[in-house]
Amino acid sequence: MRKNINNGFTFIELIVYIALVTIFVYGAVQFGWNIIYGRIKSNVYTEVTQNLRLASKRILFEIRNASDINSVSATSICMSNSDATRNPTRIYLASGVLRIGWGGGSPVCAALSNDVALTSNLVSVSGLTFTNLTSGSLTKNIRFSLTIDSVNASTRSEFDRSQTFISAAEVRSN
């Protein structure tokens, strides 16, 4: 009498093994995507934070080192400076870009000889507000609010980041 020996897999075993391998591969792919999107989110967060920090520190520096405040509007400030090459200095918002201009000698900040962007093209300034808090003639105090958003060309939430900084500075020459 001859015995029939089956050394193969049954159909049910094959389905179970394929399902286990599929679950493992799916989990590994999802883990990989989470790492990639986490890196993207971290880069966007860093870009917005660095632009906000640089811009706010520069605004504070310029206000504190100005010799006088010539004019303040909602999205622009014009300051006189004791350094003739930097007189006057203007910080303003133009098309979502925070800009600083200086030189030219005009007290109304017209026809500045130098003009550069303070923020990169990877972010957009959605809010810039200057408020003159000066009371009397003894001190000149300016409050500002700066909101920077990431530029999101897609609809992915990983690219969305917005941050606001509010501070005030006093002209030191007073």
Domain range annotation of the chain:
11-170
DSSP 17-40: HHHHHHHHHHHHHHHHHHHHHHHH
Q: Give whole-number Cα distances, 76 to 70, 79, 128, 152, 165, in Å.
A: 11, 10, 8, 26, 16
pLDDT in tens, 158-173: 788 999 999 999 998 7
pLDDT in tens, 10-25: 888 889 999 999 999 9
pLDDT > 90: percent of the chain: 56
- Beta-strand ranges (E) seen in the chain are 68-73, 76-80, 89-94, 97-102, 114-117, 123-132, 141-150, 162-170
Ranges under pLDDT 50 in the chain: none
